[in-house]
Structure 1
Amino acid sequence: MALKTNSKSISLTDNIQVNDGSHILYFYDSEEKYLENLVSFILAAKSMNQHVIVIESYELYMALLDRLGEKLIELELIDFLHYKNNKEFYETHGNFKFEQALSNFKTTVQPFVDGDLSVRVWGKVAWNDLSVSKEVLNKYECQCDLTVSEIGYLTVCCYDGKEVPSTVLTDLMKSHPYFMTDTNLVKSSLYNHPDETIFPSLAAQKKIETELDFYRQKLDFIHVVAHEVRNPLTVIKSFATILKNEIGDRDKQTKLSLIEDYSVAIDHEINHIIQTEQMLTTDTFWKMKLIKARPVIEEVLEIMTIKGRTQNVVLVSDLQVPTNTIINGNLMGFRLIISNLLSNAIKYSFEGHTVTFKSFVEKGNLHINIIDTGVGMSKQECEKLFQKYQKINQEAAGQGIGLFMVYQIVTHFKGEINVSSEPGKGTDIRVSFPV
């Protein structure tokens, strides 16, 4: 059995393929079938050299080990199995705390992120009263869905079908791309799959259809313009690359390289406008995830280095962020923060000057420091810096919305941002996020 997908697929069992990083909802009726599915899950993981975290009761975990029997030794499974007591994990002895449960999940997977190890998670949710905590439970599962999809860990969340109300099941299907029973695995019909459309209720649809039409027209216009500009940009960049490889004159090669740089910079600006508009108008892009910070920083630095070259500004970076550094945010928002701040630093620098980017982890925080020696700002201008539609330099291009978005996203990520500047001497911006 194979579930079709456009992204990378991995084995759930010997015969079933699912998206890498999937979040599967499992409602079981038979403990016997439950154990059979868990055994298959573990054996498939071992065949892919993946570790398995099992979050279960002690009694059922012992039953699992008994079921695995001689395979534990034959397949050397002991080193790949990692056990967590589910009652301790979900803290069923007290009131469930959403942030604490998410923190427990992060603590559980962090060693595997640190060791760059492939892992999958099987967790039996233990709760004193699931029906009372339905909203909190759904919030936790939604957050876990975003988390595992981002860091690429296959996770199965298990519930006893005889104990959990159908209303809870319906809600949970919205936060899990796959739904499994003892005998079947299907795509969840209520999950917002990227390649499928899910409609709101009739009442909700009527309420928002006017607003959606407005945003749809606005975004459609932006996408049309972007498409019309990007196509010739691609052609220009391709011809510049071909000519540069064919021409031996170094001066002409330098000019053709500049054409390549401008093509990349313009394409980035178009994409930046689209993403900013989406952040302003779509709730999806404000959802929080656990993300790896360093790859995003490296990606933005590469683009901004090119942008700097187009304006004869040198970007110098000092990146001392471990590869396993994780923050709670989302990729698009984190990318927009760094991109906006670096773009402004380059824009307001003098030709031939340098913009310095520093990033490091210290005392439980990820720090980002961007320094330029450009036009700078007065104290009064700094106070207006993060207000919507406030442009400090009226001669520079832009709508004055970028830094407003930066402040909103940094705050949403539980981060802090501080600015110090002096006219004619440049600006120093410091941002920090808890890790």
Structure 2
Amino acid sequence: MDPIERCSSVDKKTAFLTEEIEIKNKAHILYTYHSEESYVNNACSYIMTGISIDHHVIIIENDSLTKKIQEKLTGTLSEEEFGKVHFFNNYDYYMANNHFHIDRVIENFDQVLAPLMHQNLSVRTWAHVEWPVEKNISQKLIDFEQIADREVNKHGTISVCAYDGNNMSASLQNKLMEWHEYFMTDDALVRSYLYRGNDAILPSLSDQKKQDKKVERQLFAKNEQLQSFMKQNLDSVMIVGQDEKVIYINHIFEETFGWSAQDILGLNVYELPVAPSVDKEMVEQKEMPIKKSDSIYKVECTRQTKYGKDIKVLQTCFPFRDEDDQIFAWVIILRDQTERYQVQDLLLQSDKLSIAGELAAGIAHEIRNPVTAIKGFLQLLNADGKNVRTYYSVMASEIERIELILSELLVLAKPQTTDYKSNNLITLIKDVITLLDAQANMNGVQIKTKWVNEGIHVKCDVNQMKQICINFIKNGIEAMDSGGVLTVMVEQNENDILLSFIDEGKGIPETILKKLGQPFFTTKENGTGLGLMVSKKIIEDHLGSMKIYSKIGEGTTIEVRLPIR
């Protein structure tokens, strides 16, 4: 069976890149990647291509990506085929004692190749090059790749040297291309027009002219592709020059925000009507790491149309560099997030309604008790006019309890605007426990609380924070079929607040634990799978994080960390 058919999880666009150019038996390939997902896909396709032509494959990789590659290949390669893939740790390979020693790296390369070469086996290698921060590291990498190119030609292997494109400059990339016959990105493989290999033989004048014309055609093609990207892009695109003035917007920008190119071109980027309140100092701080590493800056923010409508957008910013590796312009892409937020709001409301429905029985029980008490006291009042003040006091207390329960229920049912304020987290939790006490009692569950300080405050939307507390406490109650203790614990640290929900249920198997939080995945008979996903999104919106720990037979702990702001 064709290897692509056997591994449908590998994108066909990335599969078998080494077949795009006729590579017979040896090649030195420079791969600069920007997407980890594409990187893993390309590594897997490279391995499967090798296996399909009976190659042994040496993978020099870090532990994290090794695990992801192995997981992706599991179920695709047979045990015998897996035996032809040899993994080595790239830290030991490149960064022994936190220094990049060229001689040691070349020696390591010979050592991993030798056992296979002695058996006259065909070999291909894939090495993820990582390096420590040290003086002159760029020149060391260039010198290393020059020697490595000679070694690849000597051994007659196909070798990929993979670099994180987010952590290297364009000038370093160009220098490394001089010692690689091929250049590869996440979705393309081409010959390196800068390659100086084959003993660096100088071409004839006519050959040089041909090469110059080829480079000229490539540059023209790249310029055409760039123009097409700007015009055909479905997102709003804006280009800003080094003088901070807008030099280009595409037609999607005009359609989305209502301003024409004539209105926007030539304006200072910090004075655009589309972003009336941009903080120049903050933007310049964000630009600094981008200028150094060519990384991409992303932020969610609000922009304004010509007609005063606010639009939530994902703003992406990255630099354009010239042949001397100098920034000459900035590209800003604004992706409209309106539909995504509408879907999130629908999910949030759906989860609220689901919670309200599930709580109905407990709420009915909780309200019936005070109503019964009030009814009894009214009958006593009718029969006996004495001790009226005592009766009134008890009835007032019970009525206040009904009001509290109903107000908590209305919080869930009524659409709310997001309002981040400093709120007392302990008071908030107590309100939620009041609402859920009846359901806990009916299930034989005791809710215990643990905190040192009752004055712990967190900046949050009170309704959304109550929603996640209700979700996690309800889950804990439902996890204990035979009753038990559910502990809600709050700890305040120097930088954050840790909120823990600890149950004594059966625990969650590892296979299910990995899937929790996926849309519509649920272990409950009548569950929707939305509760945990919505809670996770709320926590992330509050700049927090969530972790779930579970042991079979011992129970589950959900930890929520919220920043102190």
Q: TM-score range by the shorter chain?
A: 0.3 to 0.5
TM-score (norm. length: structure 2): 0.32
TM-score (norm 1): 0.41
- Which has the higher Rg, Structure 1 or Structure 2? 2
If asked which structure has higher relative contact order (CA below 8 Å, sep 6+), I would say 1
